[in-house]
């Protein structure tokens, strides 16, 4: 009889442990198309906000999450919003500087929460010889979804497709 009591308890625990809790709802499946569209919209809104801003560095940094990184070509890694702001302020201070970027694709991880956008940019500035130059390039931005469902930049990197070219006036 001593063996029967522990054996009954073990059988009951096993049975109850295997049964599902009817009160626990199944998580909603992630609609990756909706998340990709939201990510593309976030990247485009970031570009639009930058273009229309009177304070380009502030508008650029507004899209970044805390602890984000900027990996500019030929420059040091900028860690955190303050360093990113300073790096962009240095770029914007170059005479004739402008940049327009356009996202072309977005991917979101199967579990959501992280995604990337890929796109192209057109950067212009005064060249070392004094005339305007153009740099066309590409970028990849890593995004992190925030608790409210919005997307913020976790890391941004970009590089040129080739050397700068003179802008025909």
| Domain around 159 | 31-166
Q: For residues 78 and 70, is the Cβ–Cβ distance under 8 A?
A: yes
Is residue 126 assigned to a domain? yes
Handedness of CA 153, 73, 50, 37 (dihedral sign): negative
| pLDDT tens per residue, range 131-150 | 999 999 999 999 999 999 99
Residue 24 lies in a domain: no
Predicted TM-score (pTM) of the model is: 0.81
Residue 26 lies in a domain: no
Per-residue pLDDT tens digits for 76-120: 999 999 999 999 999 999 999 999 999 999 999 988 899 999 999
| CATH at 79 | 3.10.450.50
Identify the DSSP state of 31: -
Q: Is residue 3 part of a domain?
A: no
- Tell me how many domains the chain contains: 1
Report the C-alpha gap between 21 and 49 in whole angstroms.
47
Judge residue 46's burial from the number of C-beta atoms within 10 Å of its C-beta, 0-12 exposed, 13-18 middle, 19 or more buried: buried
Token pair 């900028």 is found at 78
């Amino acid at each position: 009889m001593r063996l029967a009591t522990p054996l009954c308890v073990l059988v009951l625990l096993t049975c109850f442990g295997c049964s599902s809790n009817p009160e626990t709802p199944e998580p909603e499946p992630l609609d990756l198309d909706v998340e990709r569209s939201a990510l593309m919209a976030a990247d485009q809104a970031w570009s639009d906000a930058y273009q229309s801003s009177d304070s380009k560095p502030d508008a650029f940094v507004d899209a970044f999450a805390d602890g984000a990184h900027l990996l500019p070509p030929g420059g040091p890694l900028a860690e955190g919003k303050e360093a990113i702001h300073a790096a962009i302020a240095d770029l914007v201070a170059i005479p004739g500087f402008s940049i327009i970027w356009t996202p072309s694709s977005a991917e979101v991880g199967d579990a959501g929460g992280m995604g990337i956008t890929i796109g192209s940019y057109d950067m212009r500035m005064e060249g070392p010889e004094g005339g305007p130059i153009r740099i066309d390039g590409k970028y990849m931005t890593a995004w992190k979804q925030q608790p409210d469902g919005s997307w913020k930049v976790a890391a941004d990197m970009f590089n040129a497709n080739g050397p700068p070219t003179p802008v025909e006036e």
